[in-house]
C-alpha cells in the first residue's frame, strides 16, 4: 500500500476512514468515483419513450416522485398520440414546478 502523509491521515480520521482504508483507496482508484471510467459517466437518455411504459397494448405516462409514489396516467393505444400527450403533461409539470419555485 501507498504511504500517506500526515495531512492525509488526519483527513481520513476526520471523515471516519482508517489510515489503512485511505491508503487502499489512494492506491486503487478503480474503487473511487472519479468520472474517468466509462461506468461512471452518465448515460444520455435519448429514449423517445422516456417516462412511458407499456402494459399490453396500452401506453402509460409514469413519473416517480420524491415521496416514493408513482404517478401513472393512461395515454391510449396509439404510440404517436401517447407521446404527444406525454409531452403536454411534462410541459404542465415543468410549468407547475417553475411556478412553485418562484
Assessment of whether the complete model's pTM goes beyond 0.75? no
61 and 96 co-located in one domain: yes
67 and 87 co-located in one domain: yes
| Residue 91 domain boundaries | 52-101
- In-domain check, residue 15: yes
List C-alpha distances in Å: 84 to 49, 60, 62: 11, 12, 14
- In-domain check, residue 1: no
Q: What is the pLDDT of residues 42-99, one digit of tens each?
A: 667 788 888 899 999 999 998 887 788 888 899 999 999 999 999 999 999 888 877 7
Number of domains in the chain: 2
- In-domain check, residue 89: yes
Identify the three-state secondary structure at position 11.
helix
Amino acid at each position: 500500500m501507498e504511504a500517506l502523509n500526515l495531512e492525509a491521515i488526519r483527513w481520513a480520521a476526520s471523515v471516519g476512514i482508517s489510515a489503512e482504508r485511505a491508503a487502499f483507496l489512494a492506491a486503487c482508484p478503480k474503487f473511487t468515483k472519479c468520472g474517468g471510467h466509462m461506468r461512471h459517466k452518465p448515460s444520455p437518455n435519448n429514449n423517445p419513450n422516456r417516462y412511458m411504459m407499456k402494459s399490453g397494448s396500452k401506453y402509460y405516462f409514469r413519473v416517480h416522485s420524491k415521496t416514493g409514489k408513482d404517478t401513472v396516467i393512461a395515454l391510449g393505444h396509439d404510440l404517436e398520440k401517447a407521446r404527444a400527450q406525454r409531452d403536454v403533461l411534462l410541459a404542465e409539470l415543468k410549468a407547475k414546478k417553475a411556478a412553485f419555485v418562484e
